[in-house]
Amino acid sequence: MSFPEQQQTPPGVQSQMEPVPDCGETSYRGSGRLTGKRAVITGGDSGIGRAVAIAYAREGADVLIAYLNEHDDAKDVQKYVEEAGRKCVLVPGDLADPAQCRAVVDKAVEEFGGIDVLVINAAYQMTHESLDEISDEEWDYTFRLNIGHYFYLVKAALPHMGSGASIIGSSSVNSDMPSPTLAPYAATKAAIANFSASLAQMLGEKGIRANSVAPGPIWTPLIPATMPPEKVKQFGENTPLGRAGQPVELAPVYVMLASDEASYVTGARIAVTGGRPIL
């Protein structure tokens, strides 16, 4: 399957993609697996985060969505969450700023009274053919957002998380099969997998679980916003399944890891890669 050539300005807008990604708007059916849970999802306006937000709401969770500035996409997700009968709080702002991460946690505690599930999903990437193309500022920003906001949010959220809570980091197949044209992004995704494993060991005595998910090529706004049009057209064709994944195909894994059914799953990294291996 090939996509039409297209390009957007970062961070990208889901509604302008062709085709629009499938985030489970019409297909995901919940069964009460997260009833009463309170979730914070970063990057929840589009792509994987959007699919997770919709699935969580239909499984019975209230959701706070932290996002940059894609207001129309975020409001669209809010509509789906509220149609599922759950509360949805929107918090825009740059999560590369530690103060913004603390504000997200404060808002979640104010609205929900605590946090049961923390999904670290917001990320920045950009395609570059050489190191000369990567500015110092872009390198620093990629790390402050992708892995930095993981640290800032968890540190702020832990006093409001109890036994049975779940932390889920969005890593990537790039964490151990790095694309040379996505070097800063790939390095941060390896750090997310590693940090998740550290948290699992650190927080086990508190009954708090930490895991990561390693997506392969998934059709999200990051793709047309950060890759040249010719690469967009062929995106995902080099997987064993021969296609890119849709965000909705990640949602069941994030639901499982957030649910009480995964009470003995911590320190894991789950691959959803279309057949690409991870180490």
Which of the residues are catalytic?
A: 185
State both tokens at 23.
Answer: 């985030």
* DSSP structural state of residue 218: B
Q: How far apart are CA 165 and CA 148, in angstroms?
A: 21
Residue 269 phi, psi (nearest 5): -125, 120
Q: How far apart are CA 7 and CA 38, in angstroms?
A: 35
Burial 207-238 (b: 16+ CB within 10 A, else e): ebbbbbbbbbbbbbbbbbbbbeeeebeebbee
As to burial, measured by CB atoms within 10 angstroms (0-12 exposed, 13-18 middle, 19+ buried), residue 138 is middle
Helix (H, G, I), strand (E, B) or coil at 151: helix
Using alpha carbons, select from 271, 272, 270, 276 the residue that is nearest to residue 238: 276
